[in-house]
Amino acid sequence: MSTPLVIASMAQAKSLLNQEPGGVSEWVIVSQNDIDQFAGLIQDHQWIHVDQHRAQSESPFGSTIAHGFLTLSQLTRLAVTATDVQLGAKTLINYGFNKVRFVSPVLSGSKVRGKFVLAAVKEFEGGYELLWNVTVEAEGNQKPAIVAEWLCRGYF
């Protein structure tokens, strides 16, 4: 079990800017069932994601791969085991991304984890905004699966 990066005050948040390693999540498995369900939800049934036999013989990866957006959608799941933001907000929201890159594929059955480094803190009337530099790793891959700049907002 990972120990989350606790942020208990604005002063502490500012002191943590660009500090490695930041928060590191637990590993989670991206199963073929996850991929198939996501394909159904977004109506993207491209064979590289859902046809295991064809992917084994025709894909350069030798396996089906997760949709990039499926892996990206795991950020919230990963963040809750990597970070614990205790700044008194009534609600936290996903505010979007400045940048997202799908660097390498996530093969079906792979384990992924997220690394979250706080890059910026901005206070505004009624809340705050945190910018996280996020790297999603797939176990055993030298290249990350995703690198992103993720904005989250908290409202009092």
Residue 22 pLDDT > 90: no
Residue 57 pLDDT > 80: yes
Two structure tokens written together for 4: 């989350």
Q: Which residues, 6 or more positions from 81, have their beta carbon under 8 angstroms from its beta carbon?
A: 1, 2, 4, 25, 26
**Inter-residue contact 4 to 82 (CB < 8 Å):** yes
**Is there a cis peptide before residue 105, judged by omega within 30 degrees of 0?**
no
Rounded to 5°, angle at Cα 105 from 28 and 147: 75
Confidence of residue 3 (pLDDT cuts 50, 70, 90): confident
Which pLDDT score is estimated for 153?
A: 97
Q: Where are the domains of the chain?
A: 5-155
CA 38 vs. chain centroid, Å, equals: 16
Collapse the DSSP code of 118 into the 3-class scheme (helix H, G, I; strand E, B; otherwise coil) and give the result: strand
CA dist 53 and 6 (Å) reads 44
The mean pLDDT value of the chain amounts to 95
- List, for residues 85-117, the tens digit of each pLDDT value: 999 999 999 999 999 999 999 999 999 999 999
CA dist 152 and 129 (Å) reads 6
Residue 2 pLDDT > 80: no
Query: At which residue do the structure tokens 């705050």 appear?
Result: 128
Q: Does domain 5-155 have CATH number 1.10.579.10?
A: no
CA dist 136 and 39 (Å) reads 21
Please state whether the predicted TM-score (pTM) of the whole model is above 0.95: no
